[in-house]
Chain A
Amino acid sequence: MALLEVDALQTHFRTPDGINRAVDGVSFHVNAGETLAIVGESGCGKSVTAMSILRLIPEPPGKIAGAIRFNGKNLLEASDKEMRAIRGNEISMIFQEPMTSLNPVLTVGRQIGETLRLHQGLSAQAAEDRAVEMLNLVGIPEAKRRVKEYPHQLSGGMRQRVMIAIALACNPKLLIADEPTTALDVTIQAQILDLMRDLKHRVGAAIVLITHDLGVVAEVAERVVVMYAGKKVEEAPVHALFNSPRHPYTQGLLGSVPKLGSSLTGEATRLAEIPGLVPSLKQKIPGCVFASRCPHATDLCTAVAPALEEKAPGHVAACHYALREGALAA
């Protein structure tokens, strides 16, 4: 049994000008100790999916349907009290903005200790000791001194390390990281990604990594879910996805990112474009959500939404024309 099973997840929002179907029928699973990346562009529903797993969606105007089974228990049926016991304890989350997700008036030690005292009933002293231990774990030098500092005394990279320390304090089984390195500079991003890879071996938590950065995906993920306009359009092991993408959207996405070193190999002089815009999620789309921008779209695509089909072992894509093995049909 998978650690987390998301089944036909729908998260809709009521807005004055229609229902926003931010996530509309997304299914995936995460095995214990595995790193799954969810990639897509802004508005594809990847962050809403993450928030839905922890039931952090305000209801109303939002509403969640489907099933989210964590260790076999459907979180959508859990009481608020049960959810509080799970959040930050068995499932924890790292957010994009390390400045705003820390409380500016509490010391770093207090913030790490708080989850421990809340979930594991540790005493103040034990919690502080553990906080020092966690700061050491995430590679913050002089941890003894740093636990007494406030977030504004730390740099952006340090703050993100503290966020990770808070998230890992209770030894969660699942860590949801929502764009954890997007706000960071590239040399700091390299430090944090390095830390995440290292911690994964040591702590063993499963990770759901939400990102738009295909480079980050290639570096840390084992399996990848590609989302577009509230739907999962492709899912594959990371090598298969980058080497033989099946869905035209994934192909377009990979083609539109320049590779560093292109001037040395003399590759591609022009980036592939995906023409057009993401469709509005406030209108129902009868066919394939990508049909309006797809270079291969036919009448069939605009009329009938393709089901997710297994194109190769462990590799599914929602496209009528993506071949089971090999490239896209002309």
Chain B
Amino acid sequence: MLHVTNLGCARGGAAVLRDVSFDLRAGQALILRGPNGVGKTTLLRTLAGLQPALSGDVTMPEESAAYASHADGIKTALTVTENLRFWAEVYGLTFDAAILRRFDLADLRDRQGGTLSAGQKRRLGLARLAVIGRKILFLDEPTVSLDTGSVAMFARWLQDSHLAQGGIAVIATHIDLGIDAPALDLTPFKSAPGTGGGTDEAFL
């Protein structure tokens, strides 16, 4: 369902990764590993279509991918329910309140986004992924600021409700999520400094 062939990507006009290739079928996940700065975020942003690829191809069904960044995109003046309902409507879906329980947000449903703790905000950000129901997820450090219980809860959701339903996930993370997925270390794909240093297009 997701085919990546010889993908090269750049950050700030400098090539970071080259020749990244992998194939994922429905129900599979891939964990991206590598030291800070190796290009995990850049790869995920390229896959999500936020920046153009330097080379190579990404093929996946249209309108099937979703991206979750370091920032959760939570509006501080809106309540938890309003935040999630907004994203459901943007994706043309109706908001199902059962998701609040799934992410342990039921007691917080009427709290304003700005009054949540960092971990609660993250749970809200992850609940957005369940709300929008996309098949292919690109997750950038999804477990940052989560406690161990919440990490287990998220891993359970990912395994049982996403992957088991034929979903795909590409996850950049430094911790062990406890889900059954191969890891891809990005270090060997690192682009040598100064090579393929981006077209004018990439510089923009």
A binds B: no
Listed in ascending order, the chain A residues whose CB lies under 8 Å from chain B are: none
Listed in ascending order, the chain B residues whose CB lies under 8 Å from chain A are: none
